[in-house]
Structure 1
């Protein structure tokens, strides 16, 4: 060992892949910064592959500053290290709601507080395991929920409308619960 050089040898190799077998993309309507940071942190820990910030009709926030985007990237890095992720979660460009519905892929889950028939637990193992592309898209709305027009558009685009239970959840709770519920069915 010297000031400019350190020598060593590999005693043992350890292969660890902290990633899920499917790619989960969370389409999260923009919410206040502290809530968005919590969503990013927890979804990184859970193994979400990417988050797409979405502008929906009832969003109070319509843009992300460059500094905020950098902060989110730092949260992803820190959360990835803490949870032993092998790959950093990607934060995509902002997208409007209709484009998000049209561009989402795979099994597309639309969290809808007005859904009365389909609970998220009814998403069958068949749906999850026979998802050919191994992509799951989860949509979570803003604090005040989706508009009637957005709910109608999501249904026209064949997104699977689901309830997260009998209670109305905060948006950050809904994001975490929906992702965790899907992951629990896959493991």
Structure 2
């Protein structure tokens, strides 16, 4: 079933909660429904308002001037992961960075924080309005595709030293580095889960620092250590930045979710949407 996020400015949220309500779709969604997907009358779709809930609708009118759907049911969306991952990604060339946004969304990243590092490509320090809109669109479309009911947050680009200085208390900060030899990502995650409360009341927060092309400089790693980040190895092979990001996210999600599931705490920690 096709899924579409809509903004509060486009459709009044209260209307999505009223069974039988006729809703005029905003033009960008109407175009997808009418011209791209060519949904037939009475065909169903899901509207999302980033609240964690979903609105099941049926197409009632599809014309060049407008597309109207009828609200059938308001239902609970898929829960978010019990681990809240903020990906602090060293800036990369456009296509690789956008691929990370897409795949990171599919894997469950909660927040993306583009980060400038010493080896970041020159000219990536500023992300203009058009680029920010494109990144947000990629994240939104990935959320629709993978069934999430909340769109991950995209923060403005920041320098690495500023991000390291603002690590919130109680957050597990991880920095994979190709020159680390002893401390593995898995061992750090298992230690963190051992110290985690048996009956936690909030999601475990993880800040994951991934370097740009060429990786982190030694002084950046030293600075991360001073701010409490755990420096870890991802194995014997040197990974590209985008590979390291996806491999790390997948391992974090698997290790923590598996541990919490064995304790029976995933349901109480799941956040709607």
What's the TM-score once normalised by structure 1's chain length?
0.90
- Gaps (5+ residues) in structure 1? none
Which residue of the other structure, out of 225, 238, 243, is the alignment partner of 1:173? 243
Aligned length: 185
Which one scores higher on RCO, CA 8 angstroms, separation ≥ 6?
A: 1
Which residue of the other structure, out of 72, 76, 90, is the alignment partner of 1:15? 76
1:39 corresponds to which residue?
100
| Alignment partners' CA distance in 1, 2:132 and 2:81 | 25
| Alignment partners' CA distance in 1, 2:253 and 2:238 | 21
State the shift of 1:9 in Å: 4.7
1:56 corresponds to which residue?
117
2:223 corresponds to which residue?
153
- Gaps (5+ residues) in structure 2? 1-21, 23-59, 258-273
Which residue of the other structure, out of 90, 114, 121, is the alignment partner of 2:186? 121
Provide the aligned C-alpha RMSD in A. Answer: 2.3
State the shift of 1:97 in Å: 0.7
Q: Deviations over 1:94-114 (max 9, x none)?
A: 111111111123011011111
**Contact map agreement 1:18 1:84 (CA 8 A) in 2:** no
Q: Deviations over 1:89-144 (max 9, x none)?
A: 11101111111111123011011111111111212434046177621100000001
Report whether the alignment pairs 1:93 with 2:163: no
User: Based on CA coordinates, which of the two structures has the bigger radius of gyration?
Assistant: 2
Change (3 A) 1:14 1:56: same
| Alignment partners' CA distance in 2, 1:9 and 1:174 | 43
Change (3 A) 1:75 1:148: same
State the shift of 1:23 in Å: 1.2
| Alignment partners' CA distance in 1, 2:245 and 2:69 | 45
2:86 corresponds to which residue?
25
1:186 corresponds to which residue?
256
Q: Deviations over 1:2-24 (max 9, x none)?
A: 879876654xx643324111211
Provide the secondary structure at the position in 1 that maps to 2:212.
coil
| Alignment partners' CA distance in 2, 1:126 and 1:156 | 20
**Contact map agreement 1:25 1:136 (CA 8 A) in 2:** yes
| Alignment partners' CA distance in 1, 2:72 and 2:159 | 51
State the shift of 1:68 in Å: 1.5
